[in-house]
Amino acid sequence: MRHRRFGCSLQSIRSTALETYFPVPVACLLSALLVSAANGPAAAQIDAAEVSEATVLTLDVGEVSITANRAPTALSQVGSAVTVITREELEDQQVRRVADILRQVPGVSVSSSGPAGSLTQVRIRGAEARHTLVLIDGVRVNDPTAIGAVYDFGNLLAEDVERIEVVRGPQSALYPSDAIGGVINIITRRGAGAPLVTASLEGGSFGTVQGSSSVSGGTDLYDGRIGVTYFRTDGISAASQGSERDGYENLSVSGRAGLRPTDTLSFDLTGRYIDADRDIDDGFTGGFVDDSPAIQRTQEFSGRLSGHLDLMNGAWLHEAGVTLAGTDREIVRSTDPAVYSARSYGGDYQTSYLLETETLVDAAHRFTLAYEHVTEEGDFNPSGAPSVSETIHSDSFIGEYQVGLFDEVFLTASVRHDVNSDFPDATTWRLTGAYLHPDLGTRVHASVGTGVKNPTLNDLYVDFPSFFYFANPNLVQEESFGFDIGVDQPLLDDRLVLGATYFHNDVENLFIFQTDPNTFVSTIVNVPGVSTRQGAELAASFQATEDLMLQATYTFTQAEAADGSRIANVPRHEVSASASYSFLEGAATVTAGLVGEYDRYIASPNMPADGYTLVNLTGSYQVLDDVEVFARVENLLDEDYTLTPGFDQLGIGAFAGVRVRLGGD
Mind spelling out the 3-state secondary structure of 391-407? EEEEEEEEEEEEEEECC
pLDDT mean over 112-119: 90
pLDDT at 15 over 50: no
Domain residues of the chain, as ranges?
10-663
Residues linked to residue 122 through DSSP beta bridges, in sequence order: 110
Q: Residue 214 carries which DSSP code?
A: E
pLDDT at site 17: 30
* pLDDT value at 42 more than 50: no
Higher model confidence: residue 16 or residue 238? Answer: 238
**543 HSE (CA, 13 A, CB side):** 9
In tens, the pLDDT along 155-212 reads 999 999 999 999 999 999 999 889 999 999 999 999 999 999 999 999 999 999 999 9
Q: Are 566 and 532 in contact (CB under 8 A)?
A: no
User: Which residue in 597, 604, 583 sits closest to 639, CA to CA?
Assistant: 597
At residue 604 the predicted structure's pLDDT band, cuts being 50, 70 and 90, is low
Spatial separation of the C-alpha atoms in residues 603 and 317, rounded to whole Å: 49
Nearest to 461 by CA among 145, 114, 154: 145
Would you state the pLDDT for residue 11?
A: 28
Residues 618 and 588 sit within 8 Å (Cβ to Cβ): no
Of residues 241 and 652, more confidently modeled? 652
pLDDT computed for residue 603 by the predictor: 80
Q: Strands across the sheet with 182-188, in order?
A: 81-86, 161-168, 182-188, 132-136, 139-140
Contact (Cβ atoms closer than 8 angstroms) between residue 498 and residue 488: yes
With a pLDDT cut of 90, the percent of the chain lying above it is 76
- Give yes or no for a contact between 459 and 412, defined as CB atoms under 8 angstroms apart: no
Q: Is the dihedral of CA 11, 16, 17, 19 positive or negative?
A: positive
Max Cα–Cα distance, the chain, nearest Å:
78
CB atoms within 10 A of CB 261: 10
Distance CA 483, CA 473 (A): 31
Which pLDDT score is estimated for 570? 94
pLDDT in tens, 528-550: 999 999 999 999 999 999 999 99
DSSP 98: H
228: closest CA among 207, 253, 255, 203?
253
Give the bridge partners for 226, in sequence order: 215, 255
Lowest mean pLDDT among 56-70, 460-474, 563-577: 56-70
Closest CA to 9 of 48, 42, 40, 52: 52
Query: d(Cα 617, Cα 581) in Å, to the nearest integer?
Result: 12
Instruction: Check pLDDT > 90 for residue 9.
Output: no
- Mean pLDDT to the nearest integer, 88-111: 95
pLDDT at 610 over 60: yes
pLDDT at 22 over 80: no
Contact 162, 178 (CB under 8 A): no
Confidence class for position 269, pLDDT limits 50, 70, 90:
very high
The string of pLDDT tens digits covering residues 410-445 is 999 999 999 999 889 999 999 999 999 999 999 999
Which H helix or E strand runs over 592? Answer: strand 588-598
Separation of CA 314 from chain center: 29
- Could you give the 3-state DSSP secondary structure of residue 80? coil
pLDDT class for 133, splitting at 50, 70, 90? Answer: very high
**Residue type at 517?**
P
pLDDT at residue 36, as a whole number: 38
Residue 127 to residues 41, 447, 454, 607, 661: CA-CA distances in angstroms?
25, 17, 15, 19, 42
Sign of the CA dihedral with 547 first, then 616, 137, and 540 last: negative
Residues 6+ apart with CB under 8 A from 415: 173, 398, 399, 400, 427, 428, 429, 430
Per DSSP, the residues of 144-211 read: TTSGGG---GGG-BSTTEEEEEEEES--TTTS-TT-SSEEEEEEE----SS-EEEEEEEEEGGGEEEE
For position 652, what pLDDT does the model report? 97
User: Residue 605 — pLDDT band, cuts 50, 70, 90?
Assistant: low
Flag whether pLDDT at 86 surpasses 90: yes
Q: Is 125 left (phi over 0), alpha (psi -120 to 50) or beta?
A: left
Contact 589, 624 (CB under 8 A): no
Q: Exposed, middle or buried, 370 (CB in 10 Å: 0-12/13-18/19+)?
A: buried
Between the alpha carbon of residue 251 and those of residues 159, 257, 369, the distances in Å are 12, 21, 39
Could you please report the per-residue DSSP string of 344-392?
EEEEEEEEEEEEE-TTTSSEEEEEEEEEEEEEEEEEEE-TTS--EEEEE
3-state secondary structure of 618: strand
Say if residues 5 and 336 touch (Cβ distance below 8 Å). no
**pLDDT, average across residues 380-395:** 88
Instruction: Report how far residue 487's alpha carbon sits from residue 346's, in angstroms, rounded to the nearest whole number.
Output: 38
Mean pLDDT for 120-130 is 96
Geometric angle at alpha carbon 192, from 70 and 271, rounded to 5°: 55
pLDDT surpasses 60 at 49: no
**What's at 564, amino acid-wise?**
G
Cβ-contact 472, 523 below 8 angstroms = yes
Find out whether the peptide bond into 605 is cis, omega within 30 degrees of 0: yes
pLDDT number for residue 34: 35
The C-alpha atoms of residue 102 and residue 30 are separated, in whole angstroms, by 27
Q: Which of 12-26, 408-422, 597-611 has the lowest mean pLDDT?
A: 12-26
Helix, strand, or coil (residue 414): strand
Amino acid identity of residue 185, one-letter, is N
In this predicted structure, the answer to whether residue 289 has a pLDDT above a threshold of 90 is no
pTM: 0.90
Length of the chain: 665
Q: How far apart are CA 651 and CA 641, in angstroms?
A: 9
Which whole number is the average pLDDT over 547-562? 96
Region 301-324 average pLDDT: 96
- 10-663: CATH architecture: Beta Barrel (2.40)
The one-character DSSP state at 467 is G
Q: How confident is the model at residue 520 (pLDDT cuts 50, 70, 90)?
A: confident
At residue 534, φ and ψ (nearest 5 deg) are -150, 160
How sure is the predictor about 1, in pLDDT bands with cuts at 50, 70 and 90?
A: very low
